[in-house]
Chains A and B, each alone.
Chain A
């Protein structure tokens, strides 16, 4: 048994943590969020220089062949810093290319991603699909040698910044994945900010013409790939949530130690001490489950068992994220409600993580039915 990171993982986690502390302060992040693009090219280059973009990619295409456990410390640090750059969407989309793409497709995309020259987004969610990955209505018709896409995707995180989208679509054979240039004719985006300050878009595909080699893998065979990608991403946001929750807990602990009312620090009131303790317990429990999710997406070969355990982790993380985020605001009193306090931003990110890739109810169902 060994719950520790190995030396390389620890070194990387430390260097990302240092980067966040030094160059991605809350003030620096504010400026990025307020900028037109809502993300920083300089930060993106730094992520590439630190090897974070290459880390999860295959060695044959400029990557380091890392898995979720290798990314855990990274996601933890990015979660604490509330990174708004589209790291997760790029990792997800690149993973789909890695799992389903042929050598030419991988060579065309992955080295550029590793070098920080390309950003990707994973376009999966549709209007009435909720969290079900098999609910795909967007149509891909085979036309001549290629394909034509018609339909809509919703809340595609990172889409406004992406060079290419990896899009799930339904062909005559079933659910499939396609590589689509973000600026291809017929792709229309309604872009906006999410509650947690990410850039996203609703994307319309109107007769988008694709060449034959835009199809990733076999037509109709993409569902297991999508499931693997989303499980991988779910494990990563579990790790991200651990960093975000630690940040909320640290801020709250510091606040109740220093904020004085009735002539003493409010942390001297037992009513608040117990609340703070419960927040820490929530975090510890969640942390253990984040380890489980990351290890299992790397090693579990039975997809059913992998889904069951990722769901178990996501249930615990969703409950903990909800608990810790709500309590962190409450214990800050009025200050917690304000835009100027980082904790209110962490609250929003954690509130999103509660539901991202499925809320606790969704995963409870998947957990029970996978057993």
Chain B
């Protein structure tokens, strides 16, 4: 047994780290570090910097611009980006729509959509969830009826992240409501957000942010060529995506960065001339999260090693990484709020605040609120546990 990265892997990590250090714009790094809002421009700017370097699509095949990295390199890259405080890459195009097209799309679809995704020219969003269909996605009702060479779509999606930025949306729609097995009547459709009949309405979350939306479809005409794979086979497509190699589900790098921030911030919080990090009660809690995070990183690497060995996708193991990763993210935001103490209360930093750190301290409580979403979205942690109990344990 050897828990260390190989010399080549370490050299790769150093290369990535060095490049990030030199190329991550300082203003984006600062925004990330203050938990500030990232505009569409911010997100795309970073996307394009990576695209220019050839690193924006680590999981894509080389013929479409992938860098040809193995699974460990891909993992290392994502972790380094997280740890460096790079803005997140919006996954809907790069990590969701593209893998689907690469696996199920026609040549024409690949040619039409992949370059726009790669270069950050076309912004995508994900239209799965509906008001009545969250955890029970297969119950979705948005209908697409074939009329000649196009589909007519009617219905509603909800929780659509960044739909207000998006040029295109990939949707699960019901093309057949008669089939006995609900999953069989579902299709995977690509829809141009500029098509008449689409309305996007914001949903404000409790931290005051606008990131999710409701998307309404009223007699929206979608060319039949935008159907991915076969009609009625949308569930197969969606399942493929769920099982896709989501190696970074645990977001170890991001949590490592937050842990460093927590420690340095807590060390500066003084009480009776003593640092909060010298308060054993608090320090032990930080240490516990740190140990949990170590365990998650090692578990992640162990799964990766197994994947490399067997060539099998990780399957239900990804659920475990999601559960632990999100619990750790939440624990970190909670400790930050505890560290800042009474100063966690202001909702927004005020203009001309007396305290230079006010912008940062005022971001902590909203961030704690916002991070509650991580155990709900992308398959709630309850659903992830159901998956493990069914698929791994056979219960």
Q: Enumerate chain A interface residues (CB-CB to B < 8 A).
A: 125, 127-132, 135, 152, 154-155, 157, 190-197, 200, 202, 204, 260-263, 266, 269, 271-272, 326, 329-330, 333-334, 336-340, 344-345, 347-348, 351-352, 355, 359, 361, 364-365
Contact = CB atoms under 8 A, between A and B. Distances in A.
Contacts of A364: 281
A326 B381 CA distance: 13
Contact of B342 (A266, A337, A339, A355): A355
A129 B273 CA distance: 10
Q: Which of B269, B347, B368 has the most CB of A within 10 A?
A: B347
B341 A340 contact: no
A8 B324 CA distance: 51
Contact of B206 (A152, A263, A326, A338): A338
A261 B139 contact: yes
Given A261-B139, A329-B372, A355-B337, A131 B159 contact: no
A261 B136 contact: yes
B282 interface: yes
Contact of B270 (A128, A262, A330, A347): A128
B4 interface: no
Given A155-B345, A191-B350, A348-B206, A336 B338 contact: no
B273 to A, nearest CB: 10
A344 B208 CA distance: 11
B154 interface: no
Nearest to B281: A361
Given A195-B366, A361-B338, A330 B372 contact: yes
30 contacts: A128-B270, A129-B271, A135-B271, A190-B353, A194-B347, A195-B347, A195-B365, A195-B366, A202-B355, A261-B133, A261-B139, A262-B135, A262-B136, A269-B382, A271-B386, A272-B382, A329-B376, A330-B376, A334-B129, A336-B372, A336-B376, A337-B376, A338-B206, A339-B204, A339-B206, A339-B208, A344-B206, A355-B341, A359-B338, A361-B281
B329 interface: no
Contacts of A345: 206
Contacts of A347: 206, 369, 372
A35 B93 CA distance: 41
Contacts of A272: 382
B158 A334 contact: yes
Contacts of B206: 337-339, 344-345, 347-348
Interface in B348-374: 348, 350, 352-355, 365-366, 368-369, 372-373
A130 B354 contact: no
B375 interface: yes
A132 B341 CA distance: 11
Contacts of A193: 346-348
A326 B354 contact: no
Contacts of B106: none
Interface string B262-273: 000000011110
A334 B372 CA distance: 10
Nearest to B341: A130
A-B interface, 9 closest residue pairs, ranked by CB to CB distance from nearest: A344-B206, A261-B136, A339-B204, A194-B345, A195-B365, A262-B136, A361-B281, A193-B347, A192-B350
A314 to B, nearest CB: 14
B155 interface: no
Nearest to B380: A333
B244 to A, nearest CB: 22
Nearest to B285: A361
B134 A334 contact: yes
Interface of B: 129, 132-136, 139, 158-159, 203-206, 208, 212, 269-272, 279, 281-282, 337-338, 341-348, 350, 352-355, 365-366, 368-369, 372-373, 375-377, 380-382, 385-386
B31 to A, nearest CB: 21
Given A334-B129, A359-B341, A326 B272 contact: no
A289 B298 CA distance: 42
B201 to A, nearest CB: 12
A135 B342 CA distance: 14
A130 B135 CA distance: 42
Among B204, B272, B341, B366, residue most surrounded by chain A Cβ atoms (within 10 Å)? B341
A128 B346 CA distance: 16
A193 B375 CA distance: 28
A269 B355 CA distance: 48
A340 B203 CA distance: 9
B133 to A, nearest CB: 8
Contact of B269 (A130, A196, A334, A352): A130
B346 A200 contact: yes
Contacts of B355: 127, 202
Contacts of B271: 128-130, 132, 135
A355 B368 CA distance: 14
**Interface-centre pick from A132, A193, A197, A355 (highest chain B CB count, 10 A):** A355
Contacts of B366: 195
Contacts of B132: 260
Contacts of B352: 190
A337 B354 contact: no
B368 A194 contact: no
B345 A200 contact: yes
Contact of B354 (A132, A152, A351): A152
A67 B203 CA distance: 44
Contacts of A337: 205-206, 372-373, 376
Contacts of B279: 361
A333 B204 contact: no
Contacts of B136: 261-263
A190 B350 CA distance: 7
A333 B205 contact: no
A193 B353 CA distance: 13
B338 A155 contact: no
B272 A135 contact: yes
B385 A352 contact: no
B350 A348 contact: no
B205 A339 contact: yes
A131 B341 contact: yes
Contact of B377 (A130, A334, A352): A334
A361 B281 CA distance: 7
A326 B158 CA distance: 22
Nearest to A204: B354
Nearest to B368: A351
